[in-house]
Amino acid sequence: MIINDNDKISSFQCFVLFVSVMIGIGIMFMPASVAKTAEQNGWLAVLLGGILSFAVFLLIFKIIMSNPDITFIELLNDAFGKILGIFFSLIYVLYFIIFSAFETRLIAETAKEFLFNLTPNEVLIITFLLTCAYISRYGIEVIARICEILMPGIVVIIVVLSFFVYQRLDFSNLLPILNIPFLKLIQGIGTTIFSFLGFEAFLFFMPYIRRKDKLIKSAFFGFLVTVLLYEVIIIFATADFGAKEMQTMIWPTLNLFRDVTVLEVVIERPESIIVALWMITTYTTEIIFLMTTGLILARIFNTKEHNFFVFSQLPFIYILSLIPQNISEIQKFMDYFSYFFATFVVLFLPLVTYTVLSIKKKVKKT
């Protein structure tokens, strides 16, 4: 697969891609999910979850820097041989397809609930997938440029909206601190992990990065912005509703911003702005996932372009996205996905690959 020099991304574009790929569907549900385990200590669970996720990325960085000119697919082949390497590469394909299916179904459910009440889920899903696939056909540099335009605006708008929400908050709802068993806090951290997933896509981006030596810096600021944004939302939501009430909500983040009365001056349904913002964040995550899957398949089949593979995965995403019966079932599946599949793909498999490559390297030297 030939990589042109104009299809490489700068350090700032890496930073924007980190933020874009991590902030997705989790931002709408995370406050309620964390409150069920960590209660009013959700902000602490998010902070520790962010630190843990960054530590996992450092492990990934160490692995991919063992040979920065090739992707993780070639490293899998080097470690396990071609047949097992392709098998594990296909597991990553399955991982990103299932992840995309979650994103797609939830964006359809949200759009149907707040914007297009009479439109069938099937129509919303197909429209969303085709829109994302159209952009994902282009190279990583084009997608990074789109994220450069969209992401700063989203962050600024959320910060501005938070300023209006701040005036009605009761921060005593955040007290007492650490009044829950340690095991519950650990469960809360596990719940937040899903909201940070997406950074593992960088396993397959290394040949496209101009300044590989600055990737850690880009990742650090990407995680920092994401953690700060999540912290603002969960602290504000807890202070506004209290942990007990928040546990019963389906859309806590949306409820937090929908009562910003200043928006009613300029728009009839202020929640539509929040839904639109969230759709954009999910859109950027989805196009990165579709492109990543396309790149993996292009590497496996040794083709010059990934365009065909972007569209070939859409039927599978469509079918998988329709399997859950409702939002509650989607969240249950997302928890299983996060605890088991993501742990295997994001942590266990890279760790085993690195160990096998290190052993092989030492054996060769001796």
Per-residue model confidence as pLDDT tens digits over 63-84:
888 777 788 888 899 999 989 9
Whole-number pLDDT of residue 5: 56
By the 10 Å C-beta count (0-12 exposed, 13-18 middle, 19+ buried), 72 is classed as: buried
Span 2-45, pLDDT tens digits:
555 557 889 999 999 999 888 877 777 788 888 888 888 889 99
Bridge partners of residue 9, in order along the sequence: 209
Give domain limits for the chain.
5-352
Span 292-317, pLDDT tens digits:
999 999 989 988 788 889 999 999 99
Confidence check: pLDDT of 1 > 70: no
Residue 60 banded pLDDT, cuts 50, 70, 90: confident
User: Rounded to the nearest 10 degrees, what angle do helices 271-300 and 82-114 cross at?
Assistant: 160
Q: Are 20 and 288 in contact (CB under 8 A)?
A: yes
The sign of the torsion formed by the CA atoms of 296, 299, 302, 304 equals positive
Q: How many CB atoms lie within 10 A of CB 57?
A: 23
Structure tokens at 336: 């299983």
Whole-number pLDDT of residue 265: 60
CA 251 → CA 149, 177, 199, 339, distances in Å? 27, 24, 24, 22
Whole-number pLDDT of residue 84: 93
Whole-number pLDDT of residue 212: 85
Whole-number pLDDT of residue 154: 77
Measured distance CA(244)–CA(125) in Å, rounded: 33
Whole-number pLDDT of residue 124: 92
Residue 262 banded pLDDT, cuts 50, 70, 90: low
Q: Which CATH superfamily is domain 5-352 in?
A: Amino acid/polyamine transporter I (1.20.1740.10)
Structure tokens at 229: 């944004």
The three-class DSSP label of residue 177 is coil
Measured distance CA(140)–CA(127) in Å, rounded: 22
Number of alpha helices (DSSP H) and beta strands (DSSP E) in the chain: 16, 0
Confidence check: pLDDT of 260 > 70: no
Length of the chain (residues): 366
Mean pLDDT of 255-267: 67
CA 33 → CA 25, 48, 82, 207, 249, distances in Å? 13, 15, 41, 37, 9
Residue 242 banded pLDDT, cuts 50, 70, 90: confident
Q: Are 207 and 69 in contact (CB under 8 A)?
A: yes
